[in-house]
Amino acid sequence: MKFARPLVLLHTLILALASSCTADLRTARAEVPILETNAPGGDYGLFEDGQYVPEPWFMWFVLGELSSADDVDMTKFDYQQGDRFKAEIFIPGHEELRTFNPNIALIGPGLPPPAEPLPFEIPEGMGAIVATSDGTFDYFDIFTQMVYFPRAKIEVIMPQTGRYYVAVWGEPVGMARYALDIGIMENFAPHVLVRYPINWWEVRDYLQWGHWPVLLIPPLIAAALIWLMRRLARRRPIRQYEQITFAIALIGLTATFIVLVAQQTTGYGPHIAMTFSIAGVIALALAGSVVWGAYILTPLRERLNLREFAGDDQFVWVNGYAIHYTDDGPHSAPVVVLIHGFASSIFTWRRIKAALLAAGYRVIAVDQLGSGASARPAEPIYTTQTQAELVLGVLDALGVRQAHFVGHSFGGRVAMQIAILAPERVRSLAAFAPEAFATGRPGIARWVRLPILGYVLAFYSTSPWLVRPGLRFVSAKHDWITDAVVKGYAGPLYVRGSALSQVWQARSPKDGVKPVPHNLNAITQPTLLLWGERDPVFPAGDGTQLVRILPDARLHVFEGIGHIVHEECPEATQRALLDFLELSTKTHTGLSFPAQHQARASEASHTSNV
């Protein structure tokens, strides 16, 4: 913390000083055009020498200057019939230019003859619309940080397809500079954005240079902080709290820069007191840190690719996606497939897997799509059916035709989906607190689906810092939540695309063609249900309801246990699972429980957690 605390203090001091420097300045609001410059002056003479404006339906600022009463600036562009056209003259807001009032004319095919003589001859077959202005008011543009005097304006629907021209002329006053605003839509094309700093610099030349030192302070300090971070990174690893501190500092400085720019005007707009300036900068810094911090911190957190995290090459390509799995035990033994739950991975099965291997089973554990070391596609395909099909695809690649399936939470739902879609592949089914009755995504998914905000929520909700409190929330017993366990559960969050995959899971349909809640009675295989009495996610009452629906099922409810039964009471869970698998393996040809167990399927049996 020796480095982070001084940086936070420095950042706070910068915000306070920057805000106090702008306390006596003024601000206003305005529409925001995108700039494109034309060389000042003109005197083009011939129409075809006019400055060509590409994409005139976008909003452009063409800068010009009239050097004499005979000077005519000409711009040209191509329009389609029926396109809306708008052109307006803006004069930089200097008092010496307040009386500068140039004329503007639209010239082209299909327009009426000019109502008054023009200082130039128009081409044959063309007409003209001429406009002047006799009034003035002050208009502040926040991007260019300038006050303008709006002047003549023309707005029509183009009568024909063809080339049109806009001419500007008039008696110059002072430096006689103007900006011609053409178009109706802002243009955020890359080539415009790349040129924007140059345009802004040229337009800012209309203002006083005394403002620039204040404006340059925040980006210079930001550059210094980036240099300092890179220098420290060469000496020792940068810890996560330092990364976050740097992000807050840089975003805060950016917010400070925006506020400074917004206040760099002449004497127009309401006065802003120092208190409100400081509060505004801090509020922008905090809001920016929360929103854009997610995007800045993503590459710092999600730094591993799939193989780097997995540490092996046990991947199968199923339907174009890399699915990670582990395959242990003798290949001649009965196969048990383990399917983890939401926001988990095959790490959750380490104890169950060890017990199954010791009992002589072949154990295949699969990382679901978007989890563990499996692919994280940015597509709305995270349905229960897709996950089931991918698990079956792994088994196909390994040559496994039939297996016992074990699933926890959402993994239990996937196991049930497999039993519904491919019953011939399932010898038995064991579901630990399965998600059986949900028909849609949880309420928070509506927010996670949103652009920008959804990713921010997904990023912070999947923070490794929240793994420990998350495990404690869903569990009734906490002694198993050690540092090593937390690290194991948090590991997949460092894989690239983890946060984004949560957004696309929220945007995906819940089920496929055979939704699990509506097809539960189709599951005829022997089914074991293990539940925690104090499960805060899916209550144990769901298990009682499932026993009534499933034709061949029994339920164990563990007293004093929460949602992750196989972690909170591992011995009792392993014993119940192994007994069930042994019985199912012996009787799998009939795929039913013996009579003494069938009688127990109608009611829940309570097993102590001791």
Tens of pLDDT, residues 74-86: 888 888 898 889 9
What is the predicted pLDDT for the residue at 117? 86
- pLDDT above 50 (res 317): yes
- Asked if 101 and 170 touch (Cβ cutoff 8 Å), the reply is yes
Q: What is the mean pLDDT of residues 555-574?
A: 96
Task: Give the three-state DSSP class for 151.
Answer: strand
Q: What is the mean pLDDT of residues 106-122?
A: 90
What is the predicted pLDDT for the residue at 464? 92
pLDDT tens, residue by residue, 334-376:
999 999 999 899 999 999 999 999 999 999 999 999 999 999 9
Task: Give the three-state DSSP class for 427.
Answer: strand
Cα(280)–Cα(14) distance, integer angstroms = 14
Least confident of 260-264, 277-281, 493-497: 260-264
What is the predicted pLDDT for the residue at 360? 96
Please list the alpha-helical segments (H only) found in 302-398. 306-310, 350-358, 384-398
- Domains by residue range for the chain, with CATH: 4-28+209-297 (no CATH), 47-187 (2.60.120.380), 306-607 (3.40.50.1820)
pTM of the model: 0.58
- Asked if 258 and 19 touch (Cβ cutoff 8 Å), the reply is no
Cα(360)–Cα(452) distance, integer angstroms = 49
- pLDDT above 50 (res 608): no
- pLDDT above 50 (res 483): yes
Cα(445)–Cα(90) distance, integer angstroms = 47
- Sorted by sequence, the CB contacts under 8 Å of residue 231 that are 6+ apart come out as none
- pLDDT above 80 (res 231): no
If you average pLDDT over every residue of the chain, what do you get? 80
Q: Identify the band that residue 514 occupies on the pLDDT scale cut at 50, 70 and 90.
A: very high
Q: What is the mean pLDDT of residues 44-61?
A: 70
What is the predicted pLDDT for the residue at 230? 67
What is the predicted pLDDT for the residue at 245? 62
- pLDDT above 60 (res 492): yes
Q: CB count, 10 Å around CB of 170?
A: 21
Q: What is the mean pLDDT of residues 191-216?
A: 56
pLDDT tens, residue by residue, 270-282:
444 555 555 666 6
Q: Which helix (H) or strand (E) holds 556?
A: strand 553-558
What is the predicted pLDDT for the residue at 269? 37
Q: For strands 604-607 and 553-558, give the pairing.
A: parallel
Q: What is the mean pLDDT of residues 583-588?
A: 73
> Percent of the chain beyond pLDDT 90?
49
pLDDT tens, residue by residue, 19-44:
444 433 332 222 344 555 554 444 44
Please list the alpha-helical segments (H only) found in 364-426. 384-398, 410-421
CA nearest 442: which of 461, 416, 467, 419? 461
What is the predicted pLDDT for the residue at 250? 65
Q: What is the dihedral of CA 325, 331, 337, 343, to 10 degrees?
A: -20
Least confident of 9-13, 61-65, 118-122, 504-508: 9-13
